[in-house]
Amino acid sequence: MEIKEKFGQKVKELREQKGFSIEQLANISNVDRNYISDIEKGKRNVSIEIMEKIILALDTDFIEFFNDNNFKK
């Protein structure tokens, strides 16, 4: 799986754990909802600043977000 897809999958997983809709996550993160939808589908080569907005909106940090065996090389 490509890194874009792994990232999107994890965003979706945490968003659903939080009980957020895409629209809610968009509002909290200040990232467009269509862009978030594309990210979750693994379609976007997201930048580190957008990653940070989404990760913080999911109430986590880079340490915890990537601490997942799906990100093992």
Kind and range of the H or E run holding 50: helix 48-57
Residue 62: how many other CB atoms lie within 10 Å: 12
With beta carbons less than 8 A apart as the criterion, state whether 50 and 31 touch: yes
Closer of 34 and 70 to its own copies (Cβ):
70
Give CA–CA dist 55/21, Å, rounded: 15
48 sits near its own copies (criterion: CB under 8 A): yes
63 sits near its own copies (criterion: CB under 8 A): yes
66 sits near its own copies (criterion: CB under 8 A): yes
16 sits near its own copies (criterion: CB under 8 A): no
Site residues (vs its own copies, CB under 8 A)? 3-4, 7, 45-49, 51-52, 56, 60-63, 65-69, 71-73
